[in-house]
Chains A and B, each alone.
Chain A
Amino acid sequence: MVKSFLITRPNHDVNTSYLHSFAKDILKIVKTTRDIHVTDLDGDKATRDRVEEHLTRENPRLVFFNGHGDRIKICGHKNEAILDKENIWLTKDKMIYALACDCLEELGEVAIMNGTTAFIGYRARFMIVIDPSRNSSPDKDKNVVPFKKACFTLINALVFGNTVSKSIELTKKEYEHSIRSYGTSEDDPYGDTPLIRFALAWNLEFLGMEGDPEASF
């Protein structure tokens, strides 16, 4: 049976351009996987109307939101609210991974009350440390590699059938590994290591979930 997977990745400012870049690797893998059908709402396609249409029509079991967010919403293109308390019911029986700031704190809880199977996200701002000289080409920014690896670990684990709790455990291990191993002169030409380690530890601390920890895709 083909499983349906929806991803949103707006790309209209520096922050979203980094998250947009982080999601490329999982898309490459999923597009070669026969039993997964992926819908990529990329750039200006990441609108509320399209998200609602795909949630309804394709009924994806797994939804990966990338973009800005706060305690009560996740945003799409040009910061339009694409998921909030008004349409959260559309995620009933679905697994959500929100790579967006703060939204686990309140929206995650509301989602579970409305029947979402599991909601993975951050209970605080999602932090990254970029190399400002590379901010127009996130794919080439070495500073963000450990952040990208952690985000990839989580979505990759979910896509390939790990439970929510196992996927989070693997991601936390990845964060810990990066905290310990990052910082040779080769990968840190500008001396950003202490700040990168702090930001990784921040994301490690505030990554969490609501709902069923044993759910899988």
Chain B
Amino acid sequence: MTREENALFNEQKKLVLARFKTLNPEAKIMLGGDKEVSVKELISHIENGDEFGKKVVKVQIKMLQVLARGAN
């Protein structure tokens, strides 16, 4: 990752964290294999910067881009 890409990712990470922190921390997503992940755990993955956390940031940004494109 270049310095610019890194800076952009850090900005995205802050934005995604701010959004997840407005949600109920105990709310859960089912993941398959009878596993679950709570909002609190998603936040922890993002803050730790692990691979799952990085994917969460990427997907949340894409979700915002889909929303920004407006309704069909």
Cβ contact of A201, chosen from B19, B22, B24, B62, cutoff 8 A: B62
**C-alpha gap A198/B62 in the complex (Å):** 9
Task: Please determine whether A179 and B29 come into contact, CB atoms closer than 8 angstroms.
Answer: no
**C-alpha gap A176/B32 in the complex (Å):** 22
Cβ contact of A179, chosen from B19, B23, B39, B67, cutoff 8 A: B67
Q: How many A-B residue pairs have CB under 8 A?
A: 80
Task: Please determine whether B33 and A195 come into contact, CB atoms closer than 8 angstroms.
Answer: no
Task: Please determine whether A100 and B66 come into contact, CB atoms closer than 8 angstroms.
Answer: no
B2 CB–A CB distance under 8 Å: no
Residues of the B chain whose Cβ atoms lie less than 8 Å from the Cβ of A204: 62, 66
Nearest B-chain residue to A101, judged by Cβ: B32
Task: Please determine whether A130 and B30 come into contact, CB atoms closer than 8 angstroms.
Answer: yes
Task: Please determine whether A69 and B32 come into contact, CB atoms closer than 8 angstroms.
Answer: yes
A15 CB–B CB distance under 8 Å: yes
Mask: chain B, 46-72; 1 = CB below 8 Å from A; 0 = not? 000000000110111011001101111
**C-alpha gap A69/B31 in the complex (Å):** 11
Where the two chains meet, the residues of B that have a C-beta atom closer than 8 Å to any C-beta of A are 19, 22-24, 27-35, 39, 55-56, 58-60, 62-63, 66-67, 69-72
Where the two chains meet, the residues of A that have a C-beta atom closer than 8 Å to any C-beta of B are 13-15, 18, 68-70, 100-101, 124-130, 132, 173, 176-177, 179-181, 191-192, 194-195, 197-202, 204-205
